[in-house]
Structure 1
Amino acid sequence: MLLALAAMAALISVDLPDAPALPPLGESAPAAPGATADRVGALFAGGLDGGHFCTAAVVRSDGHDVIATAAHCLDDPEGTVFAPGYRDGRAPYGTWQVTGVYVARAWTDGGDPDADVAFATVAPAGDGAAGNVEDLVGGFPVAAGQPDEATVTVLGYPRDDEAPVRCANTTDLFSETQRRIGCPDLSGGTSGSPWLVDGALAGVLGGYEEGGAVPEVSYSAVLGDRAVELYREASDAG
């Protein structure tokens, strides 16, 4: 019996593909295709020909139609479309028009960096996408109140790249309301990128200096009660 089990285990191990090696903490690399990356997408001005300028991610919601990004990415949302899983000029799940934006008054009235978080509803943009975006790619749960030194994974689209990059590192608090991470290559276009802790959205790249003045250090407003309320409003509206 033991020999038979050993032989079966050896056979299974041969058939299973090797898991992709992840870069060390604090190093950026291309994000591998898969379920996690498919929930992240680029924001475009008017369509895929308009160039992508920010990043967003699908989050779980009652209407299955909510994305999260930085508030400064949606200051002028008219014509903005979201392309989940975007790579090399292709939008495998279609494009999705922003239909409603939920940001705190502290952002709209004064650009408070602690309020640089937005949730938005989306609908098919008429290029073959249909139904609800979360039903196609899934969504990240939203998890406020993470520990100060949480290990965060960031996925985002640099403006000059046609595929997302990934970086993970341990974070710390820059202030009571701002979290920071050391990761290279999170340059312009990665604003709004999801900050994931154990697969749940714990922030978005933004906040202090709209995400940071250098690509080696990035920031996120700490998700608190205000952000959770915005998320609930967006979810209820879907």
Structure 2
Amino acid sequence: MIHHVLPRTARRSRARRASRILLALTAMAALLGVDVPGAAAGPPLGVTAQAPPGAAADRVGALFAGGLDGGHFCTAAVVRSDGRDVIATAAHCLESPYTTLFAPGYRDGRAPYGLWKLTGVYVAPGWTDGQDPDDDIAFATVAPADERRTGSLEDLVGGFPVAASQPDDATVTVIGYPRTRETPLRCANSTALLSETQRRIGCPDLSGGTSGSPWLVDGELAGVLGGHEGGGTVPEISYSAVMGDRALALYREAAVAG
């Protein structure tokens, strides 16, 4: 069911072992339900504004092509894992994993927590085989791009728990980086199901570059901006694939590895 792609294997998408698996299963409740930053404060529902620095925004970062001077093209977020080095984004954002770098907490040309290279990519077969919008969510393990850096990504910024389930009309907070901005935007609003597998939100100004942005329900990752229409064809309406069983299985596989 799950297709595990390492960066050394070329894959195109628009976008540790058995002993550790047993340990990961016993720890999964902790991965899914702890360390949730507060998300109540902010602008009114349906209003997009600059996301202030803090625990939530620092766990979100921009994806760059090769380095800070290569321009950022998507958004990703740190999620909890055994090895404390896993990010979530849209599958269509991981088209070029060899050259993709993650900058958590990126603001105004600076990467306060360093740059992180991808070491493993986890996408569902439905995306790699046919770019199924219901599978437009991916996870990746990361390591410091600067080999002199020690410690894990979660040690620096923490990680969002992954929501095992959400109500159909959940209130979602989206944090992401439009290509034209050097600071993240934040918007919260109630959502509705477009279908059983796709969720819809009305938030202005979530333009190109916000693909992969985390959709947070009570501080837990419930999806990423992507899916239907690649996440939306107009900045005012965005979509996310529902975090279903396939995505949760993919997350668990990545969590074991990283």
TM-score, normalised via structure 1 length = 0.90
Matched, 1:148 2:168: yes
Q: Distance in 2 between matches of 1:57 and 1:174?
A: 24
Cα displacement string for residues 160-218 of structure 1 (whole angstroms, at most 9, x for unaligned residues): 10000000000000011000000000000000000000000000000001100000000
Q: Distance in 2 between matches of 1:127 and 1:187?
A: 34
Equivalent of 2:64 in 25, 44, 49: 44
Q: CA deviation at 1:237?
A: 1.1
**Map of 1:61-80 to 2, 5 A cutoff?**
61-80=81-100
Structure 2 partner of 1:231 = 251
Q: Distance in 2 between matches of 1:22 and 1:94?
A: 27
Q: CA deviation at 1:145?
A: 1.9
Cα displacement string for residues 111-148 of structure 1 (whole angstroms, at most 9, x for unaligned residues): 00000000000000017643210110000000032001
Structure 1 partner of 2:104 = 84
Unaligned stretches of 5+ residues in structure 2: 1-39
* SS of residue matched to 1:171: strand
Give the residue type in structure 1 aligned to 2:121.
V
Task: Say if 1:94 and 1:128, in contact at 8 Å, map to a contact too.
Answer: no
- The structure that has the greater radius of gyration is 1
Structure 2 partner of 1:220 = 240
Q: Distance in 1 between matches of 2:41 and 2:221?
A: 23
Q: Distance in 2 between matches of 1:192 and 1:59?
A: 13
Give the residue type in structure 2 aligned to 1:145.
S
Structure 2 partner of 1:126 = 146
Unaligned stretches of 5+ residues in structure 1: 1-19
Matched, 1:163 2:157: no
Number of aligned residue pairs: give it: 219
Q: Distance in 1 between matches of 2:148 and 2:43?
A: 36
